[in-house]
Amino acid sequence: MKIQVLEQDETKIKVVIKGIHRSYANAIRRFAISEVPTMAIDEVVIIENSSIMYDELLAHRLGLIPLKTDLERYVLPEECDCKSPLGCPRCRVLLVLNAEAVDKTKVVYSGDLKSEDKFVKPISNSIPIVKLAPRQAIKLEAYARLGKGKEHAKWQPTTVSVLKPISEEEDTHMLYIESSGSLPASEILTKAVEILHKKLLDFSEKSKSVR
């Protein structure tokens, strides 16, 4: 297999893949969407919410804010040694939101979320969360963890993942990936290939016991 990089920056990568069948190339595309883990807010404890937004809608909106992710420092909850439903510093991150509108309308942004880990934070400080009228306030604790896109769309690391044949031969394809900002596009591609390779090895090993 040969890979030629046509275009690359922090948020997108375009490559030509040669020497593998289209089904395998498409598996890489699908794994980039559904198997590469990222951080997302999964639990929210509402301490105070006097805004017009329901608690459930507020929690849903927080969950869809992309968070910067460090796959070297965190593990999936099911792979963590703590085995605790509450999590630990290896599998969970706390973010706190405390905002109040005093005498005029205030827009609460993603930048108002304060994370206990400076490396796990919203990809942008300017994502609007809710608008507060005077004397309204929000106070909450949000807990983020690693998850996969196949579990919920909020954990998808990609906004675009496209495979396109570029010749009549079935072994040459163009793969284009755009990142949500949680991970560099190149890391998404690399992790997708690593995870696919590991699953194939596991399948091969387990198939030996089939008679």
Closest CA to 44 of 118, 154, 148, 135: 154
Across the chain, the runs of DSSP E, i.e. the strands, are 2-8, 12-18, 38-49, 93-100, 106-109, 114-115, 128-132, 137-147, 158-165, 172-179
Q: What is the pLDDT of residue 207?
A: 85
CA–CA separation, 192 vs 177, rounded Å? Answer: 11
Closest CA to 43 of 145, 114, 178, 156: 145
Is residue 208 in a domain? no
Is residue 185 in a domain? yes
Q: What is the pLDDT of residue 211?
A: 65
- Average pLDDT per block of 10 residues along the chain, 211 residues long: 92 94 94 98 97 97 97 94 89 97 96 96 97 97 97 97 87 96 97 94 84 65
Q: Write the CB contacts of 21 (distance below 8 Å, at least 6 apart in sequence).
A: 170, 171
Examine the domain organization and report whether 15 and 79 are in the same domain.
no
Is residue 85 in a domain? yes
Write down the H helix ranges in the chain: 22-34, 55-63, 185-207
R_g over Cα of the chain = 20
Examine the domain organization and report whether 44 and 123 are in the same domain.
yes
- Residue that is last in its domain, among 147, 165, 180: 147
How many domains does one find in the chain? 2
User: 18-25: long-range contacts (C-beta < 8 A, 24 or more apart)?
Assistant: 18/171, 18/172, 19/171, 20/171, 21/170, 21/171, 22/163, 22/165, 22/170, 22/171, 22/173, 25/163, 25/173, 25/175
Examine the domain organization and report whether 133 and 70 are in the same domain.
yes
Residue 138 CB-density burial (10 A; 0-12 exposed, 13-18 middle, 19+ buried) = buried
* CATH number assigned to the domain comprising residue 7: 3.30.1360.10
Residue 185's CB: how many other CB atoms inside 10 A?
26
Examine the domain organization and report whether 43 and 114 are in the same domain.
yes
Examine the domain organization and report whether 100 and 182 are in the same domain.
no
- Phi and psi at residue 97, in whole multiples of 5°? -125, 125
Examine the domain organization and report whether 107 and 189 are in the same domain.
no
Examine the domain organization and report whether 138 and 180 are in the same domain.
no
Examine the domain organization and report whether 138 and 50 are in the same domain.
yes
Is residue 28 in a domain? yes
Is residue 169 in a domain? yes
Q: What is the pLDDT of residue 183?
A: 98
Examine the domain organization and report whether 130 and 51 are in the same domain.
yes
Q: What is the pLDDT of residue 129?
A: 98
pTM of the model: 0.91
Q: Give residue 157's region: left, alpha or beta (phi > 0; psi -120 to 50).
A: alpha
**Residue-range definition of the domain harbouring residue 89:** 39-147
